Structure 1
Amino acid sequence: MERAMEQLNRLTRSLRRARTVELPEDNETAVYTLMPMVMADQHRSVSELLSNSKFDVNYAFGRVKRSLLHIAANCGSVECLVLLLRKGANPNYQDISGCTPLHLAARNGQKKCMSKLLEYNADVNICNNEGLTAIHWLSVNGRTELLHDLVQHVTDVDVEDAMGQTALHVACQNGHKTTVQCLLDSGADINRPNVSGATPLYFACSHGQRDTAQILLMRGAKYLPDKNGVTPLDLCVQGGYGETCEILIQHHPRLFQTIIQMTQNEDLRENMLRQVLEHLSQQNENQYLKILTSLAEVATTNGHKLLSLSSNYEAQMKSLLRIVRIFCHVFRLGPSTPNNGNDMGYNGNKTPRSQVFKPLELLWHSLDEWLALISAELVKNKRDATNITSILLKQKGPDQQDVSSTQLFDVVSSETNRTVSADTGDSKIYEVGSTQETYADCQDVISVTANRLSAVIQAFYMCCSSQMPQGMTSPRFIEFVCKHDNVLKCFVNRNPKIIFDHFHFLLECPELMSRFMHIIKAQPFKDRCEWFYENLHSGQPDSDMVHRPVNENDILLVHRDSIFRSSCEVVSKASCAKLKQGIAVRFHGEEGMGQGVVREWFDILSNEIVNPDYALFTQSADGTTFQPNSNSSVNPDHLNYFRFAGQILGLALNHRQLVNIYFTRSFYKHILGIPVNYQDVASIDPEYAKNLQWILDNDINDLGLELTFSVETDVFGAMEEVPLKPGGASIIVTQENKAEYVQLVTELRMTRAIQPQINAFLQGFHMFIPPSLIQLFDEYELELLLSGMPEIDVSDWIKNTEYTSGYDKDDKVIQWFWEVVEELTQEERVLLLQFVTGSSRVPHGGFAHIMGGSGLQNFTIAAVPYTPNLLPTSSTCINMLKLPEYPQKEILKDRLLVALHCGSYGYTMA
């Protein structure tokens, strides 16, 4: 029996030796053998390896110089951690960043490891290199259950890190409510500032931690700014933290007025202010009304300051419009109550909510007085209505206070013994006498008040509109404009820029626009274009013309061999809002994308729209322009296609892309809503137009023409009698009514015959271009906007071309190139332009205004080393022609023409 036991023991020892791996003798190698076992908490294997080894358990390794105890604490390997501690591992050893194992256990929430380290006398008060202790780490992560165990070992709960931040600061910043309560219960200083003067409440507000701020305020936290004067409320408003602002106001009611006054601070983002006030107004009806009334009072004060000529116009104007925008935004939303429906006070005097406008009535009354006084002076000065030199401005003297708007008027009579300085700085009163020099260089009222009054008018319009349903103009505002029509026109005539700066209401009210249209259309085309695009793209989140889609669904994937039908299908399914922001096009089976591909897509589609196969448009008499086909119904989908054609032209105009189509003047008039006249008939039937002209020029009473108010017209090859008006067949055309006859015939030929087609086209066009905006232009300007210049000016092309990669304008190859361009036909020049830029048209303003992938981009020619038979290539996104350094002009011309005729579509564009 004893012999058997001995054999068994020998066998066991032999097996143990066979499966045991001994540690290398050097610590560097040994530690990397042990580390994976410690990370996996394989304590038995670690114990066996350490049992007969001389390994130093405090050996520090790696770039951060950590021990195996750090590794165990970091990974939560509690059994290995206890083993190492028993072997003599130092629980307070600091790595290169100053972190002890306790720091790492606290950072990762390793509760058991923390408990064991504390048993072995780990020091909870040790700071790392950044001044962080274990309680900082627990507070950052909100590990309150661990903090309760640890805080009793802490000597100073307010120990600061390198930035002067305590555990309470970081807990407040991260919104850990129970952690904050634990620290406060442990004696943390609730008002302790860090190095920049930021208190725990400041940190809570900086990140919008509503509940944390509530706890601090309930426990008596003081409302203190930092060393730069930034307050907790400033931080809440800057971040748009409405809920936290609400808590602050509950504990410090005086802060309500502070928020209202903040609306005048142009350094604060307006959308954040809106967000805060929107939240506050949603709490209850009383709060909503209080906010609006307060905003109205501030707006009124700012409006009167703006009307005072001693104020800074730019600053006061921006402040007034900013406050009014916020006021109107909050007014439209309101709290979710039964009152927030039809009870919005559209008539301005029936509901309690309309009372919030009362403070503003003082401002509107002052505005009305100003305009009435100016109107009276205009009547007195009929001979020179735009230079009212008899109206002088009476400003404050050096020792006087600001005066109201009505006091600024002083019509100086011949008996007055003083004149007034209208200087931009402090104004002074000069006595007229032998020892005083008379100051006579006075500005008239309109010159110095037009901009100020126009800004207040804009504010008035915004307030009126906020009380109306969407899309309706306030009757009160229409009445106001009609009442002061002469003065407003005088303002605009004197300074047309007022229209673009302040009279945006004209775009939203056709009745008012008609009063000013002749003045607007007299403004430079460039100014109107800027106003057009400013209003067209206002409110869009991405104003860039180049839009990178966020996913594949935003890409318009079209087939080149059926581009019209496939484009019609994808555009009809796409989001209109996304198409307004930007377009991404890819041809099926091709990898190319970018602005060059978009331009090519528009160019091809513009040719397809007038493709006779679709029967949508017919050529005019001169063969260069197109008119809707009255017989387009031979195509069953013709109205859908007309709608699509309208969408493409609207999209092109929206994104400043040119289309390769020229329409008749009458069709441009249809787009603009301008009535056609008999002269427009010449584009489709010159002979008929001559006949109409003859009727107008001659007395037809005694000619025996026997014309009636009905005409024969071709309907699908058959002639039909069509009345021009009810009972027209029995109404004879006479000398007295011939003008009406000519107009009705014109409308029949040019409008009635194609009305369904026009309506379908406009339905698509107006999806992207509002009628109110496009009316800023006439038919000639619309053609320029849509199709660019009809001719290519080579001298302008040369003038606005850049050279790169070794070329300059004096190189022989460049001189040959421009000589070749001069020799090309107009069609070939168009092909060259399309080959390089993706578009066959030059924008209005010439080559200096060509767009590239990221904005304006000049036509560019880059040098490429020459090899035999090498063709020019292009990068359409950057409008670059890559031109080889050809040895002879003839070779250059030959290769260029091959590239143009083979590469207009589908050619590889680098």
Structure 2
Amino acid sequence: MEFLKDLAASLRSARTVELPKDEKAAFYMLMSMVIGNQYRSVSELLSNSKFDVNFAPGRGHRNLLHIAANCGSYDCLLILLKKGVNVNQQDVSGCTPLHLAARNGQKRCIDKLLEYKADVNIRNNEGLTTIHWLAVNGRTEVLHDLFAYVPDVDVEDAQGQTALHVACQNGHKSTVICLLDHRADINRPNHNGWTPLHFACSHGQHDSADILLRKGAKFVTDRFGKTPLGLCLEGGYSETCSVLLQYVPNLMEHLVTSVRSEKIKEADYFKVLKHVCSQGNEVADRVLMSLSEEASMIGHNLLSVSSNVEIQVSCLLKCVKVLCKLYSHVYQPPPSPTTPTTPKGLQGVMRVSPKATQVFGPLEALWQLLADWLCLLKLEFNKDNNQNNKDNNKDNKSDSHNQDSKEHTQSQEQTQENSDTPDTASAIVGRDCNQEVDPRSCDQEGILKSLCVDQDVVGVILPRICGVVHAFYICCTCQHGHPQMTSPRFIEFVCQHNKELKLLVARSPEVIFDHFHFLLECPELMSQFLHIIRAQPFESRRRWFYDNLDTEGSNREIIHSPPNDDDVLVINRERMFYSSCEGLIKQPLDKLKRGLAIRFQGEEGMGSGVVREWFDVLSREILNPDYALFTQSADGCTFQPNSNSAINPDHLNYFRFAGQTLGLALYHQHLLNVYFTRSFYKHILGIPVNYNDVASIDPEYAKNLQWILDHNIDNIGLDLTFSVETDVFGAMQEVELKPGSASLPVNEKNKTEYVQLVTELRMTRAIQPQIDSFLSGFHEFIPQALVQMFDEFELELMLSGLPEINIEDWRQFTEYSGYDENSPQIQWFWEVVEGLGQQDRVLLLQFCTGSSRVPFGGFSHLGGGGGPQKFTISQVTYQPQLLPTASTCINLLKLPEYPSKSELKERLMVALQCGSQGYAMV
């Protein structure tokens, strides 16, 4: 009968009526019921069993009371309490049921636990008590009822933090007020000396900070000298900083001097000061003037030689950048399109606004100090030159002759210095470098004398001067008010100190990349330093090129999973050229710069491998003679714009598209399987062509030009004039090489000019519209100021990579998955590759990586979807007739375990011939 009774009860309740004898199984059965607050079922099961309600299995060591308190299952919690469960039992982290109920704000559970003598003072492993848990989560309504049980509202956790600390950190305003109303210590420090105000400021809780300051919180430093203001600045919490300044106005000085802190980022610092300046022009003027004075102090300290150069340069540049950004934000001096051009002779005294003069006035002393230093360095350079000349002359000449030579050298140098210095330069920096420096007005001479005799004076001061020059440029640009133009004042400064700056750069060329960014924005100045820049290592210039290519700092990446379909270029393989052209026109430039997402119509694959193939195929398609855009040069390998491309009525738009394609590839560092003539690369770089370039399109004609230059052509009957006949679609036309020169004869005196003009006609004028259209598209992505730092050979290297595939380099930078370098299949694979011709090697490279070119730097610089990605060969289980496959996005070749070298080679060649293009998801 008992069995039937239990059976009926089980069927009616749709569950068992008895707990399993195994306590762990019983616990987990009850746990699900407790979570759902199925108190009747829990009550019945517990009443019919001997289950230990304190049983706490698993790594968490939580019993059923922990579960009920955590979930707010009040009825189950009451049943467990009546069953005699240990109300203060702690889990593995030291938390009691009361802690869990407090953390989740389970008020009814808390009240009942307190009724059953739950201890509010028990600490978990981190020292947190119940009041801490309530404060952490802002359970103010429960906190009020708990104070009757809490003997010390300032009870500390293991780090010395009170409930007020954590409430301020998390910004629970009502909880903060409640704790303060119950006499929580408003200035109590934790073990590191952080007060509640520190916690509020460290997390930007401006409301909590306002409450604390209104209640009388003190502004103090912690054990390590950190202040609440410093914490605000490190986090960029502008509103909280404003609250601090409202209650403690004298913090303004500390706010400005905080620019020296290495821990405060420029963007965060600017954000805070921008908010402070929004309170009105009076506050803004105070901030700007203080920043200007601080920048001047930092700069003077930097030029004192005794300071840490890296730290001081960084501080100075941060200070002036923030100063200029703030000035532009507050006053926004708009460039007037109607402003008349300043006469050249007056550029040095160009008018600036009174406000700019006021704000940047404190820095004038620093700029004067910079000019004085450059004057002293000129003296040092002259001394070195004179000494070198003297030493050299001692070996070859008598003393009297040596003296004459020395005077002659000095005279030459003086003449050169005078010619390099513009007449208006003294109006810019206030002193001519040819004047003697007054020791009473500056102390640089004393500094020089104080340096060790063996110490390299120029080496010590060089990075400091360059840092101040950088700061001077930033300030001049801001004061000038025309961001699209380089400040005339700065141009005059560089012209006046041209010789010294060039000598500094010659001593330490890397300063160009660190501080001479102004060269990129001023063609006049770039032309003076371009030969020095081009003399620097290619890799350094290449790195500087990409560092400055995207001034807005957007990430250049290949989008694998684009945010929406509008960002995907869907390309029709059958109409590769036209489809790509139409797609690029529709995409905004900023989107194309941020990243590329390509999918071929009817194919599923996407990713970096698809993008690489698109560039590779499209670059070859642009050279398709059907479009008449480019013609093959005499060497059969390179291409030149077609002078007769007008046969295609839309040819100039297509040249612009070709320029966009090459510019986009260079921007995203994708190599193209295309090579142009040296003369065309020169056109891209702005380098003049010469008669040697003619050989690429007409070798025999180039030889004839060379013959003219090598021989006297007077009286040999050539009868040449400064005009040539050209074939334009079958009609011969006479073209003058220069206006009115059709009858001007070519002779020995003017033959060099003739050769240059006829070269420009053949190589430039004949295709000028095509070049201009191409460059209009190319410069949408690649500024002329940046690309001109390379020569034509380097540009080809950046666009097309290494011309040969080095098997040893490939093998050296290959990784293996499942195989190792001694596996038979790997040995056979490399033997097969070494036996391949160049064309098949290119096919293999494209099959594995999606590109037929090796990047600059070799195979160690192969790139994948997320950055550098080495070529990898992965083991695949052998099956008869199974071909190798590849994942081009990660440069992975999946090579089956072929039983013989012959089968491996056969299967590999089939894969190369049939599968070097096309994508599908497997």
Query: 2: CA distance between counterparts of 1:817 and 1:249?
Result: 71
1:310 aligns with 2:310: no
Distance 1:56 1:598, change over 3 A: same
User: Which protein has the bigger helix share?
Assistant: 2
Distance 1:99 1:817, change over 3 A: closer
1:200 aligns with 2:196: yes
Of 352, 358, 361, the residue aligned with 2:361 is: 358
Pairs within 5 Å for 1:34-113? 59-60=53-54, 63=57, 94=89, 96=91, 103-111=99-107
SS in 2 for 1:263: helix
Of 110, 116, 125, the residue aligned with 2:120 is: 125
* Matching residue of 2:185: 189
Contact 2:204 2:240 survives alignment (8 Å): yes
Query: 1: CA distance between counterparts of 2:335 and 2:550?
Result: 31
Pairs within 5 Å for 1:784-803? 784-794=797-807
1:540 aligns with 2:562: no
1:147 aligns with 2:150: no
* Matching residue of 1:427: none
Root-mean-square deviation over aligned CA pairs: 4.5
The C-alpha deviation readout for 1:342-386, integer Å capped at 9, x for no partner, is 699995642224322122111110111121233345556655789
The C-alpha deviation readout for 1:649-682, integer Å capped at 9, x for no partner, is 1222223322111111221111112233344333
Distance 1:61 1:459, change over 3 A: same
Query: 1: CA distance between counterparts of 2:610 and 2:29?
Result: 59
1:374 aligns with 2:392: no
Distance 1:253 1:311, change over 3 A: same
1:521 aligns with 2:534: yes
* Matching residue of 2:170: 174
* Matching residue of 2:254: 258
Distance 1:200 1:48, change over 3 A: closer
Query: 2: CA distance between counterparts of 1:215 and 1:20?
Result: 56
Pairs within 5 Å for 1:670-819? 670-690=683-703, 692=705, 699=713, 703=717, 705=719, 707=721, 709=723, 711-715=725-729, 717-720=730-733, 732-735=744-747, 742-794=755-807, 805-808=818-821
Contact 1:69 1:101 survives alignment (8 Å): yes
Displacement of 1:524 in angstroms is 3.0
Contact 2:232 2:241 survives alignment (8 Å): yes
Structure 1: give runs of 5+ residues left out of the alignment.
1-14, 392-402, 413-419, 424-440
Moved more, 717-726 or 451-460: 717-726
Displacement of 1:214 in angstroms is 0.9
The C-alpha deviation readout for 1:4-29, integer Å capped at 9, x for no partner, is xxxxxxxxxxx999989999466979
Return the letter of the residue paired with 1:834: Q
* Matching residue of 1:432: none
Displacement of 1:207 in angstroms is 0.9
Highest RCO, 1 vs 2 (Cα 8 Å, sep ≥ 6): 2
SS in 1 for 2:640: strand
Return the letter of the residue paired with 1:603: D
Pairs within 5 Å for 1:545-564? 548-549=560-561, 551-553=563-565, 554-564=567-577
Displacement of 1:236 in angstroms is 1.4
Contact 1:507 1:773 survives alignment (8 Å): yes
Distance 1:614 1:106, change over 3 A: same
Distance 1:132 1:799, change over 3 A: closer
Query: 1: CA distance between counterparts of 2:875 and 2:130?
Result: 65
* Matching residue of 1:602: 615
Return the letter of the residue paired with 2:613: E
Contact 1:92 1:101 survives alignment (8 Å): yes
1:620 aligns with 2:616: no
Displacement of 1:154 in angstroms is 4.0
The C-alpha deviation readout for 1:304-332, integer Å capped at 9, x for no partner, is 23223333333333333333333333333
Query: 2: CA distance between counterparts of 1:821 and 1:66?
Result: 63
Contact 1:621 1:686 survives alignment (8 Å): yes
Query: 1: CA distance between counterparts of 2:561 and 2:524?
Result: 40
Displacement of 1:645 in angstroms is 1.9
Pairs within 5 Å for 1:198-277? 198-277=194-273
Percent identity over the alignment?
A: 56
Displacement of 1:106 in angstroms is 4.2
Instruction: Give the TM-score of the pair, scaled to structure 1.
Output: 0.81
Return the letter of the residue paired with 2:579: S
The C-alpha deviation readout for 1:28-74, integer Å capped at 9, x for no partner, is 7999898878767788x679969x96789994466478787776665
SS in 2 for 1:676: coil
The C-alpha deviation readout for 1:605-647, integer Å capped at 9, x for no partner, is 2211111222221112332211122333444543343223222
* Matching residue of 2:443: 407
Return the letter of the residue paired with 1:599: R
Contact 1:584 1:593 survives alignment (8 Å): yes
Displacement of 1:175 in angstroms is 0.9
Contact 2:33 2:42 survives alignment (8 Å): no
Pairs within 5 Å for 1:788-867? 788-794=801-807, 805-808=818-821, 820-847=832-859, 849-852=861-864
Displacement of 1:798 in angstroms is 5.8
SS in 2 for 1:627: strand
Contact 2:605 2:920 survives alignment (8 Å): no
Return the letter of the residue paired with 1:756: P
* Matching residue of 1:11: none
* Matching residue of 2:491: 478
Contact 1:308 1:404 survives alignment (8 Å): no
Contact 2:819 2:826 survives alignment (8 Å): no
Query: 2: CA distance between counterparts of 1:109 and 1:890?
Result: 74
Query: 2: CA distance between counterparts of 1:887 and 1:48?
Result: 70
The C-alpha deviation readout for 1:428-450, integer Å capped at 9, x for no partner, is xxxxxxxxxxxxx6356434433
* Matching residue of 1:487: 500
Query: 1: CA distance between counterparts of 2:368 and 2:647?
Result: 62
Contact 1:23 1:30 survives alignment (8 Å): no
* Matching residue of 1:654: 667
Query: 1: CA distance between counterparts of 2:871 and 2:145?
Result: 72
1:905 aligns with 2:917: yes
* Matching residue of 1:512: 525
Contact 2:603 2:920 survives alignment (8 Å): no
Displacement of 1:604 in angstroms is 1.6
Moved more, 490-499 or 311-320: 311-320
Distance 1:135 1:527, change over 3 A: closer
Distance 1:495 1:153, change over 3 A: closer
Query: 2: CA distance between counterparts of 1:551 and 1:386?
Result: 68
Of 438, 454, 464, the residue aligned with 1:452 is: 464
Query: 2: CA distance between counterparts of 1:788 and 1:134?
Result: 66
* Matching residue of 2:430: none
Return the letter of the residue paired with 1:714: V
Query: 2: CA distance between counterparts of 1:901 and 1:290?
Result: 73
Distance 1:144 1:309, change over 3 A: closer
Structure 2: give runs of 5+ residues left out of the alignment.
1-7, 340-348, 393-405, 411-438
Contact 2:9 2:17 survives alignment (8 Å): no
The C-alpha deviation readout for 1:80-99, integer Å capped at 9, x for no partner, is 778988x6878956564666
Query: 2: CA distance between counterparts of 1:873 and 1:16?
Result: 64
Moved more, 378-387 or 275-284: 378-387
SS in 1 for 2:474: helix
Query: 2: CA distance between counterparts of 1:706 and 1:624?
Result: 33
